[in-house]
Amino acid sequence: MKIGDFEVGSIGFGAMRLSADGTIWQAPADRSGALAVLRRAVELGVKHIDTSDAYALGANEELIAEALHPYAGDVMIATKGGVSRPSVEEWIPLGRPEYLRQQAELSLRRLRRDVIDLYYLHRVDPLVPFADQLGALARLREEGKIRHIGLSEVTSGQLEEALGIAPVAAVQNLYNLTDRTHEEVVDLTAKHGIAFVPFFPIAVGDHAKDGGPVATVAAEIGATPAQTALAWLLHRSPTMLPIPGTTSVAHLAENVAAAGLRLTGEQFARLDQAARP
């Protein structure tokens, strides 16, 4: 599986959950445990680590650098800019070009990198022309500050528009077995050979409970329901690259092992239909 010119494997690691609580506002209380999870991810072969300058106000990026710097040459670090956090409750899109460029510079320092492998526009700012936001990332790419451009929570129309401005290597949208809002974007990324990186990839809801369709298929293939939900994603699209997050080394190993699972066409269809509204 590839993101741009990086070979990253099927399962990455989303570092957002390594913040101290559900608000994603503080660095982890158990710092040594968080560092151990990140290091174990790389030991297990994970080559795609995802973070953002908005996670714990940059402390999440610093945590990754502390755990993994100097980075192995085949490990790709992705981060994001374009969301401000003026308070613990607020996530506000901020896509002014000068802000995006500043945040990229700060991310470079916190990650201890000369180049950011993959830099996402974290959210589209409705108050700034989309072309200006993409233009700021294109300029960073031309300057050698970032290697690949990504977009997060975009529509298919926005992706098509973006492709007319600059090459896009990855799209990161909310998507899982339960939430299919971005089906069209999944198909469009596959058409263009762009990585689709679903966040919150583990299915939740009634269908994932004991006795539900996910648990039933999980029993058939000798896996956990979480692994089965990840296997469904990998079956869904050839460019799908989930980034499940966890604070547990045991759960991390379970998630990574999902890359080796295979669903039959009938099992995929059964899960697909059961979770549709």
Task: Answer whether 125's CB lies under 8 Å from 94's CB.
Answer: yes
**Residue 37 structure tokens:** 């999870």
Catalytic residue status for 120: no
Task: Kindly report each contact of residues 35-39 with a partner whose C-beta sits within 8 Å and lies 24 or more positions away, as own/partner.
Answer: 35/63, 35/66, 35/67, 36/249, 37/246, 37/247, 37/248, 37/249, 37/252, 38/13, 38/63, 38/64, 38/67, 38/68, 39/67, 39/68
Buried/exposed code over 55-65 (b: 16+ C-beta within 10 A; e: otherwise):
bbbbbbbbbbb
* Annotated catalytic residue, options 55, 71, 120, 175: 55
Q: What sign does the CA torsion over 57, 63, 69, 71 have?
A: negative
Picking from 165, 225, 226, 156, the residue whose alpha carbon sits closest to that of residue 196 is: 156
The residues assigned a catalytic role are: 55
